[in-house]
Amino acid sequence: MGSGYLILAGLIMLFSWLVSARLKSKFEHYSKLHLQNGMSGAEIAQKMLADNGIYDVRVISTPGQLTDHYNPMDKTVNLSEAVYNQRNAAAAAVAAHECGHAVQHAVGYEWLTMRSKLVPFVNVASTYMQWVLLGGILLLESFPQLLLIGIILFATTTVFSIITLPVEYDASNRALAWLENKRMLTQQEHAGAKDALKWAARTYLVAAIGSIATLLYYLSIYLGGNRRD
């Protein structure tokens, strides 16, 4: 695929690793900042849902680390075991953030609705795009249309990653606003929660930038092949 792609892929992987490592260190640090209110992540989540008039969403514990997510299909806020049980600024930040998605769902936040509609297409694209792209590059001179199909599939996942950005940033903003308005945290705890969510959001930003850059690379291969024709 050429040295250009290898350099691009290497830079993307490096930035992704740096952000992920920083995020991990931030969460480890704020996991030691215990809440003065003594509430667990699960209790924070349940209160935020109730304060927003949401009573049909369950807060459940899910195995693993960084497995926290909101499932709009069965209306569950899934918190990793540490977040569910622990009583610190990091757990409060994650729990409130995931409830932010539940609030988005309840109010019909347009970016979340759009992302949900794309999920079936992204699942299909993710399954086949790498094979189609590889075949398209190998058969570029004889069957350039195959690479174009792969680019369209990849573009679907890129659009999804871009749409994810406002969804994630908005969920964090809703979480932080609620935590502040309800005076759930001390000033120091709130600053920690805000910092943790800031770095979590940056992982999505790096992923989106990487996806855009990779899409442009594949597009340049396709256009370059057409120019040779």
- Local structure of 32: helix, strand or coil: coil
- Local structure of 86: helix, strand or coil: coil
Catalytic site includes residue 43:
no
Element (H, E) at 1: none
Name the nearest CA neighbour of 68 among 112, 100, 107, 37: 100
Looking at 28, 43, 98, 180, which residue is catalytic? 98
Could you give the CA distance from residue 219 to residue 194 in angstroms, rounded to a whole number?
Answer: 38
Beta bridge partners of 61: 79
φ, ψ at 75 (rounded to 5°): 50, 65
- Local structure of 68: helix, strand or coil: coil
Fill in the DSSP letter of residue 159. H
Widest CA span in the chain:
69
Catalytic residue set: 98
